[in-house]
Amino acid sequence: MATTRLNPLLHLSQRIEILPRLGFLHPNRKLKLPRSKPSLAIRPIRADSTDASPIEATASAVDAGVSYSETFSLKHTRTLEGKVSVKLDRVKEGGGEGWRLVVGCNLEGKWVLHWGVTYSDEFGSEWDQPPSDMRPPGSIPIKDYAIETTMTNSSSPSGEQTYHNVQIDIHNNSSISAVHFVLKEEEMGGWYQHRGRDFRVPLMDCLHEEENDEDEKKGFSIWPGAFDQFSNILLKTDGSHPKSKDNVRGANNAKQQNGFYEEYPILKEEPVQSFMTVSVKESDEKGKNLVNFDTDLPGEVVIHWGVCKDYNRTWEIPPPPHPPGTKIFRNKALRTSLQPKENGQGSWGLFAVEKKFSGLPFVLKHNHYTWLYNMGTDFYIPLPVGSFPTQFSRDKKKLDEQTMTDVQKQGIMYPPKVEDSQSTSDVVETEDIINGIRNLVTDISSEKGTMTKSKEAQENILLELEKLAAEAYSIFRSAPPTFDEEAVSEAESLKPFVELCSGTGSGYEIVCQGFNWESNKSGRWYSELDGKISEIASLGFTIVWLPPPTESVSPEGYMPKDLYNLNSRYGTMDQLKLLVKRFHEEGIRVLGDAVLNHRCAHYQNKNGVWNIFGGRLNWDDRAVVADDPHFQGRGNKSSGDNFHAAPNIDHSQDFVRKDLKEWLCWLRKEIGYDGWRLDFVRGFWGGYVKDYLEATEPYFAVGEFWDSLSYTYGAMDYNQDAHRQRIIDWINAVNGKSGAFDVTTKGILHAVLEKCEYWRLSDAKGKPPGVVGWWPSRAVTFIENHDTGSTQGHWRFPAGKEMQGYAYILTHPGTPTVFYDHVFSHYQQEISSLISLRNRNKIHCRSTIRIVKAEREVYAAEIDEKVMMKIGPGHFEPPSGLKDGSWPLKGEITKFGRLCKADLLLISLSLCQLVLGCKFLVL
């Protein structure tokens, strides 16, 4: 599970062409380009679309000796501050009186109100559509639970020029208790909430004053207040409290006869394109080059840079003297702040570099927290070495191509990582990391910083914390994995660390996630899924994973309340039992989604904190961990990471473990679950999970251990051993009685497919780089789920590359999981073919894998000496390939790729597969 997070999607509407600024005069001085000097065409370097991308540039020799210049475009965002206003007024309607709700926004854009209502006879935060006579003209129904109404331009109460609003008329005798809404900005694709939740306007006090006290128990009042603090950091909307004016009345005063008016701050981010021009000239000082940086990027710009002696681009720290104010960054690079220009339009810097160095790699850090880099790796500026070459700039393209060839010949992965010098001290580096974490924590926790920083800056701070933590853990776990693969024979190297046991299945499982984030909306999901059981079985799935079954504060089920109440937004308990029975009749086993880390309370304690539970498991605050300050638990300290949206359960308590084991056993017997999908297992020690698994003896179990991968300067590191080791540690803690989702493999596939870096799919020992490369029988591979994809989209798989991801996980060892949205989509035929290929060739979770090729544009592997697969646009032919360039025709070929002679001789699955660049051969 993951906390809902709605981010504006940024799109650039046009490309900006900027004339590069050259020479080494002061950047504010206008330069006149001499016509007599010819332009030198420079090959632009492609850059990552999310951070920086070069634009077409030319280099002109403004000053004698200028050898090279290139202009990069830098994409960043700016934050616009606005407000959302909510006004409720009493109005005359016909012969009586009613109410008018006006929702407004004062930011530019095409704003849409996405809204619904709650009726007085309903509890919780579920949306329903309002009655027809309440809908403004032009409103559009969204499924069966919401309405979308486009905001119109009008004059604001404060006389502002930009103002968009929607008016909703409500009858005085209406049975509606509240109106819920979020804002949607269609031009940028952004969704906006308030403090991590939907906006909510209570109406019970206005329409039915006598029911005022009852209304306090409805709506979002049942959510613990600590969720505000958690979502305040994660969401793109301002977490400040509403601003009140002299004539403003808060929601708590809504029952006053004149209604109320409130304003809420909102932050909208817009894309901005800036530039960075880098030019090189020969210095008057003998033996040195001068490198000039010139940018219009606003705010503070820091360059992290080094030098290279060879074309392998290995970072080194140049000898002093360094530019003024330069600091050494963890003995890996120099950190230099650019100087602001006198006109305030950007900044500049001038570096002297000895001619013995062949290049200058660098990355940018903007406004403390945002890294700008080049296509997932460093920017790189070639430097003339020794005597000044006249053809230096003209030969840049040829030089780059030769460099790449040399790198590949030497077996060096591209892009190379920044290497530590021999004098680097682990102690000094660890202290730097600790100090960096302390500074970031202090920065984000300061009240002043929280109020002044944009949400993008706050999120970047959190990302920096994750990177530093991952780097620290990498140092700590610098030793090999906890089990020694080299000490066992080749035949035994892929056997599990522990003996086969309950929870790991037969090894031939293929899992289907049987829901997405929207499945609860109809209230009839169990019945709807029942009609697709035969289709799921025919596709070859052996296990289906069902959503959380319990009553929940959130409709998706991940905020459980009464664990024994199985009447949820997905359907009734009887419908669930029938669904499981029907799956069993088709030979498919069923996993229940067990949320054990946290539980929502029924009652408040004497301090008004929600930490007293009701229902059959009527725990008190001893069941809540003591170190989460939001819920005032009287238990022991947490054994994992706290989830701040609900009380975290203290599993060290004997009565808690006893009750949870009884509940899980009851689910096994009463519902018929065959195993578990375990939610947010980072929140508590794996040893407790081991206890629950031993008590319930599931056929198959998988834990969700999801944390951040390792990054350097915003780019994913090649070595992700520390990340997968943390997942391995959890599997060890449960004594190998459960698998875990292979988040490492998913993250690496993202980088591979987004940036065409297929070399990442082989680790330093030539094995798969995820959990599947170390402990394949416990690796549950996936490319998407309800959190990462669906309508949440927290970590969406690269669009259009889904079949390459499935080509990888469905042919490799591990236990593959396929997301519901992909099963029932235009991908179904391709997925079915891959599952059929896997089953026919008896590929299982412990199958052997031999990586044949892992280069920038191509990855190929042989599985169990039966199946050969290849993905990527690059060329690859098996060793026994025919001389005419086609794949051999021995056996069966299933092809997803470019047309070749094999396509003419064998039947291709479908035309839509021709663009995906992957194919398979059964020998």
Q: Which residues are catalytic?
A: 679, 704
Q: Classify residue 798 as left (phi > 0), alpha (psi -120 to 50) or beta.
A: beta
Task: Answer positive or negative: Cα dihedral of 837, 842, 846, 850.
Answer: negative
Burial 773-801, CB ≥16 within 10 A → b, else e: bbbbbbbbbbbbbbbbbbebebbebbeeb
Check residue 96 and report its DSSP letter: E
Our separate counts of H helices and E strands in the chain read 18, 40
What are the distances in angstroms from CA 538 to CA 532, 587, 806, 814, 818? 10, 11, 18, 22, 14
Q: 619-625 — which CB contacts under 8 Å span 24+ positions? A: 619/655, 619/656, 619/659, 622/650, 622/653, 623/647, 623/649, 623/650, 623/653, 623/655, 623/656, 624/648, 624/649, 624/650, 625/649, 625/650
- Cβ atoms of residues 389 and 728 within 8 Å: no
What letter represents residue 623's amino acid? A
SS3 assignment for 237-275: CCCCCCECCCCCCCHHHCCCCCCEEEEEEEEEEEEEEEE
Structure tokens at 357: 């160095």
Structure tokens at 841: 């060739």
Task: Answer positive or negative: Cα dihedral of 326, 330, 331, 333.
Answer: negative
Distance (Å, whole) CA 913 – CA 892:
17
Distance (Å, whole) CA 771 – CA 774:
5
**Pair type for strands 511-513 and 379-382:** unpaired
Helices 828-840, 802-809: axis angle to 10 degrees equals 10
Which residues are CB-contacts of 425 (< 8 A; sequence separation ≥ 6)? 331
What letter represents residue 595's amino acid? V
Q: What CA dihedral angle connects 686, 691, 692 and 693, to 10 degrees?
A: 90
Which H or E run includes 538? helix 533-538
In sequence order, the β-bridge partners of residue 272 are 76
User: Is it true that the peptide bond before 321 is cis, omega within 30 degrees of 0?
Assistant: yes
Question: What does the angle CA 620 – CA 623 – CA 629 come to, to the nearest 5 degrees?
Answer: 95
Distance (Å, whole) CA 888 – CA 879:
9
Which H or E run includes 349? strand 347-354
DSSP for 413-473, written as a single string: -SSPPPPPPTT--HHHHHHHHHHHHHHHHHHHH-HHHHHHS-HHHHHHHHHHHHHHHHHHH
Distance (Å, whole) CA 754 – CA 735:
36
In sequence order, the β-bridge partners of residue 181 are 115, 199
